[in-house]
Amino acid sequence: MTRHVIATMLACMMVAVGLRAEKAPSADPEKVKSDPQFAVQGEYVGQIKTGDNILSYGVQVIALGDDKYQAVAYPGGLPGDGWRKEEGNVRADSTLVDGVVTFKDPETGSIGQIRDGAMVVSDPNNPNVSGKLEKVIRKSPTLGAKPPQGAKVLFAGKDQNDFGADKVTEDGLLMQGVTSRSKHGSCSLHLEFMLPFEPKGRGQGRGNSGVYLQSRYEVQILDSFGLEGRNNEAGGIYEVSDPAVNMCFPPMSWQTYDIDFTAPQFDASGKKVKNARMTVRHNGVLVQQDVDVPGPTRAAPGREANEPGPLYIQDHGHPVRFRNIWIVEKN
């Protein structure tokens, strides 16, 4: 499919805005639900017809605060679910015109309107262009995964908490900025997290945290929904390896990391002979495969050593929430 058709789909997306967006970042689902930007942001999937051709597309709409958005179109479908990555994507920023959020292609005049949770695509200059993309809410296939026999449960609410009672919310979720009491070596880790809704945040200032295996090796946690997918974004091994695909869901969605971690090896004299290695699945999709991690990543609270270390979840001042955390140690 040509970039022209992708641009057609994104040319002018319109939705009436009755209220200004929530000003403060929030991890409270009830507060976020009332924000009109939250209702518009998210993922849309459907087909675009151009003459005899019918092709699938995915679109991610990112809330940016002050009634502004960015849309990203993916030929084939959403990242991890059909997107033909070799064809790239197309981005379009919005403007607010008479209370309506608008993405406009000045060359084609094509329009796309978001109505009742769907994106309707048309082109006033070309009656052969039409389509409808429905809003979807994806869930990780490992969401709610139960710890297998022999697993060490680090957090499953107030009654199973290896991190300390002072970091648990009233509704039983774990806050950021915690270190486990127990320590681990090579292991498989399951962790579920929810990013806050911070539409005015940019880059590292939006839903920022991180999970450090042995308090030494970080897999970044960040609201990088719709971004390119870098090593300092969700699914990245910080400053070491970009994720193969950006699988970050919209903020306020429960997401999963399933991490296979192999600790570094040392000889009898204490010299390291093998680096740590990590395989990461983000929302069930393989984004890092057996990556060599040469040493502790930036801001790691623990130094590399020939001994187990605790699990550390970073506090970067953003209300990221966690649940269902468990580890299976390797022999």
As for how many domains the chain has, the answer is 2
Between 66-70, 121-125, 203-207, 310-314, the lowest mean confidence (pLDDT) is in 121-125
Query: Do 29 and 120 belong together in one domain?
Result: yes
Mean pLDDT of 201-212: 93
* pLDDT-derived band at 234, boundaries 50, 70, 90: very high
Q: Evaluate whether residue 145 is within a structural domain.
A: no
> What was the pLDDT predicted at 105?
56
Highest mean pLDDT range out of 68-77, 93-102, 117-126, 214-223?
214-223
94/161 same-domain check: no
Higher pLDDT, 118 or 261: 261
Contacts for 85 with CB less than 8 Å, ≥ 6 apart: 79, 245
pLDDT tens-digit map of 143-180 = 999 999 999 999 999 889 999 889 999 999 999 999 99
pLDDT at position 103 is 65
- Which of 86, 107, 136 terminates a domain? The answer is 136
Asked if residue 141 belongs to a domain, the reply is no
Task: Answer yes or no: is 142 within a domain.
Answer: no
Please tell me the total number of residues recorded for the chain in this structure: 331
Euclidean distance between CA atoms 150 and 107, whole angstroms: 61
Instruction: Residue 92: give its domain's CATH number.
Output: 2.40.128.120
What does the H/E/C string look like for 195-225?
Answer: CCECCCCCHHHCCCEEEEECCCEEEEECCCC
* pLDDT value of residue 331: 78
Residue 109's pLDDT is 59
The domain boundary, picked from 136, 167, 182, lies at: 136
Can you tell me the mean pLDDT for 198-226? Answer: 95
Q: Is 157 exposed, middle or buried (0-12, 13-18, 19+ CB in 10 A)?
A: middle
39-54 average pLDDT score? 91
Alpha helices in the chain, H assignment, sequence order:
3-10, 29-33, 36-40
pLDDT of residue 19: 34
CA distances from 65 to 12, 105, 115, 252, 291 (A): 19, 22, 20, 16, 36
- Claim to verify: residue 124 and residue 268 sit in the same structural domain: no
Q: Is the pLDDT of residue 193 over 90?
A: yes
Mean pLDDT of the chain: 88
Same domain flag for 171 and 67: no
Q: Do the domain assignments include residue 146?
A: no
Token output for 159: 């009654």
Same domain, 207 and 318: yes
State whether 197 and 293 are in the same domain.
Answer: yes
Containing structural domain, residue 85:
3-136
* Judgement on whether residues 158 and 129 belong to the same structural domain of the protein: no
Kindly report, residue by residue over 242-295, the tens digit of the pLDDT: 999 999 999 999 999 999 999 999 999 999 999 999 999 999 999 999 999 999
Contact residues for 97 (Cβ-Cβ < 8 A; gap 6+):
none
> Is residue 14 domain-shared with residue 83, that is, in the same domain?
yes
Return the amino acid letter for 42: G
Higher pLDDT, 10 or 265: 265
Q: Which own/partner contact pairs does 14-17 have at CB distance under 8 Å and 24+ positions apart?
A: 14/100, 14/101, 14/102, 14/111, 14/112, 14/113, 14/114, 15/40, 15/100, 15/101, 15/113, 15/114, 15/115, 16/99, 16/100, 17/67, 17/96, 17/99, 17/100, 17/101
- Give a yes or no: residue 234 inside a domain: yes
Q: What's the pLDDT at 20?
A: 36
pLDDT of residue 96: 59
Band (pLDDT 50/70/90 cuts) for residue 12 is very low
**Residue 143 is assigned to a structural domain of this protein:** no
Q: Are residues 128 and 218 in the same domain?
A: no
Predicted confidence at residue 191, as pLDDT, reads 98
Nearest-angstrom CA–CA distance, 129 and 306? 62
Q: In terms of domains, do 48 and 24 share one? A: yes
Q: What is the CATH number of the domain that holds 321?
A: 2.60.120.560
Q: What is the pLDDT of residues 16-34, one digit of tens each?
A: 443 333 344 567 777 888 8
Q: Residue 8: phi, psi to the nearest 5?
A: -55, -45
User: Could you give the strand order of the β-sheet that contains 90-93, starting from the edge strand earlier in sequence?
Assistant: 13-14, 111-115, 118-122, 129-136, 42-50, 53-65, 68-75, 90-93
Q: Round to whole Å and give the CA distance between 10 and 17.
A: 18
Backbone angles phi, psi at 31, to 5 degrees: -70, -40
Residue 104 pLDDT greater than 70, yes or no: no
Question: Final residue of a domain: which of 136, 167, 198?
Answer: 136
- Specify whether 167 is located in the same domain as 124: no
The more confident residue out of 115 and 9 is 115
pTM for this model (two decimals): 0.91
pLDDT at 123: 81
As given in the structure block, the two tokens for residue 224 are: 């990088």
Are residues 228 and 303 both part of a single domain?
yes
Residue 113: what pLDDT?
Answer: 74
Average pLDDT value for residue range 36-53: 90
Query: Is the residue at 280 inside a domain?
Result: yes
DSSP single-letter state for residue 296: P
| Reported confidence tier of residue 66, pLDDT bands at 50, 70, 90 | confident
Is residue 147 in a domain? no
